[in-house]
Structure 1
Amino acid sequence: MHDRALPAAKPDGAVIFDSHCHAWRRWPYDARVPDPNHRGSIGGLLYELDAAGVDRAAVVCARIGAGSLANDDNNDYVAAAACRHPDRLVVMADVDSRWLPEHHTPGAADRLRGAAERYELTAFTHYVHDEDDGWFGSDDGAEFFGTAADLGLVASLSVSPSWFPAVGAVAAGNPTLPILLHHLGHLRLDDPAFGAARAGLLALADRPNVMVKVSGFHYLTTPSWGFPYPDVCERVLRPIAHAFGPHRLAWGSDFPVARQHVSYAQSLAMVRDHTPWWTDAERALVLGGSLGRVGLDGPHRSP
């Protein structure tokens, strides 16, 4: 039996902050797993954070699953854990994401305001369908994102490339609203429109409040377990790094969803060991410093 490797040393004062992970009371994807109450649990997440030497994590809530796999209470589950571990966890509550019946229906701004008050949020997440439905540019969408800006929230958005123009318009209309895009903008290398999609994402670098999560390498290429993902690094991450700068990028693990493709330690190594174009100081920004710039470095406050 091999001893588990010790976490790599960090520069004095550096904070490693996982910008994108999940936790669920029960595993929402497959009822056949032998450990449905642990596979996605807060306890499992905290174990990985400790083992990898990661200080904090933004837990992206996703109220997914049906029947015995349902997690309608995911916002409550994560918020309760953040109250128990205020120095470790930040809640990104799921507000009106695509799997919810209220998705893109009237009243979204009020629902966002209610969630912000209930959980004393600093951030929320919103997932949309693959194709842009025009809602970001609607009156309801404008009120939703305007409310987020007024409340001083950070918006963590899961969008495909078809939404990039709409994201740019939201960013321009709400210049004080930090927007974090999931998983390197979902730029799939096998997409026939990859070049245009990448150009669309790089154009968002002109909006200083748009940031990109350095996460989800496994979604962008085949095979999904091809660590250290050299093609994604060269064709996706490196151009993004040049356009946005390290202060607008944030590493994320996508744990525990990523575990069938890459280990938690490998997800961290993608930035720590496979980004020769960054200095140590720039790498420290991607691994945690950039999130402090947008106000995610304070402790969670108990409701």
Structure 2
Amino acid sequence: MTVIDAHQHVWDLSVRDQDWIEGPELAPLRRDFTLDELRPQAAAAGVDATVLVQTICVPEETPEFLALAAADPLAAGVVGWTDLTSRAVGDTLAALRARPGGEHLVGIRHQVQGEDDPDWLLRPDVDRGLAAVAAAGLAYDLVLRPEQLPSAVAAARARPELTFILDHLGKPPVRPRAQDTWAADLRSLARLPNTVAKLSGLVTEADRCDWTPADLRPFVMTALEAFGPQRLMFGSDWPVCTLAADYGQVMDTTRELLAELAEHERAEVLGGTATRICNL
């Protein structure tokens, strides 16, 4: 079974500040994280390759990530960033694909979770950008707050030619009875055939000091029922996950939560879906 971590990050604070890392809760992340640090942890967890995902919305980061992927087989794919509202977005994507490592570009992401407009995804200029992402043969990663899920449903419905990948299951607050509205919106998204979701980021939405696999199980089961194994993919969200769990714990917990699936279904979530959807 090939295991793909479909969601991990790196950054070098001497190259660029990560201005979202602020406050005492995020202080452990205020240092450099590299593929060399991740490599032994991924190997110990039985992970064969990863997808490197953008962290901040600046144009310089994506070419740097593509260069990393070109030089390091651990990073099999890159989800980058470009300004979706730019009229030149199509040309920008073509230029990224033409760069060294450009064949590793598998998707685009924007920090929608940081936008004040709950319907940012539905703006005409953003929709034009999403059309360009689809035309380039790329997927679009959705990183958003639970209350933004309805606009994601509308955006995905309006662009059936584009594959939308929901990061972190839409970041539900992992606590009792938090599922009610989130689950209904998640199922609405899953009804659209051009949508996929990542089993990632849940440990940091739980009580970081006192979570158990049982806390995550209802959310994972809801996602499995809604999307099915062939439209779910595992992601560690390293190093953000280290606020609540180390890499091995995240992998072990995921395997525990998928234990009741048939072997071929586990293989889909742990690698097959990412390989197919991201063209790895």
Q: TM-score range by the shorter chain?
A: 0.7 to 0.9
Q: Give 1:285 shift.
A: 0.7
Change (3 A) 1:94 1:225: farther
Q: Give 1:194 shift.
A: 4.3
Distance 2:177 2:211 in 1: 23
Matching residue of 1:186: 171
Distance 1:182 1:47 in 2: 24
Change (3 A) 1:94 1:165: same
Q: How is 1:135-284 mapped onto 2 (pairs within 5 angstroms)?
A: 135-190=120-175, 194-222=179-207, 224-234=208-218, 236-284=219-267
| Alpha-carbon contact 1:24-1:77 (below 8 Å) kept | no
Change (3 A) 1:217 1:19: same
Specify the code of the residue in structure 2 equivalent to 1:52: A
Give secondary structure in 1 for the equivalent of 2:203.
Answer: helix
Change (3 A) 1:140 1:116: farther
Q: Deviations over 1:135-181 (max 9, x none)?
A: 32222111111111111101112011222222222222222322111
Matching residue of 1:123: 107
Structure 2: runs of 5 or more not aligned: none
Change (3 A) 1:90 1:144: same
Matching residue of 2:46: 53
| Alpha-carbon contact 1:161-1:185 (below 8 Å) kept | yes
Structure 1: runs of 5 or more not aligned: 1-13, 65-70, 97-103, 298-303
Change (3 A) 1:193 1:52: closer
Q: Deviations over 1:9-67 (max 9, x none)?
A: xxxxx21000110011238437987993xx41121122322222211100102137xxx
TM-score scaled by length of structure 1: 0.78
Q: Give 1:86 shift.
A: 4.0
Q: Does 1:20 align with 2:7?
A: yes
TM-score scaled by length of structure 2: 0.84
Aligned residue pairs, count: 267
Distance 1:130 1:192 in 2: 26
Distance 1:80 1:47 in 2: 21
Matching residue of 2:36: 43
| Alpha-carbon contact 1:154-1:179 (below 8 Å) kept | yes
Give secondary structure in 2 for the equivalent of 1:217.
Answer: coil
Structure with the largest fraction of helix: 2
Q: Tell which structure's C-alpha radius of gyration is larger.
A: 1
Compute the RMSD of aligned alpha carbons.
Answer: 2.8
Name the stretch that deviates more: 195-204 or 170-179: 170-179
Specify the code of the residue in structure 2 equivalent to 1:250: M
| Alpha-carbon contact 1:253-1:267 (below 8 Å) kept | yes
Matching residue of 2:277: 294
Specify the code of the residue in structure 1 equivalent to 2:246: S
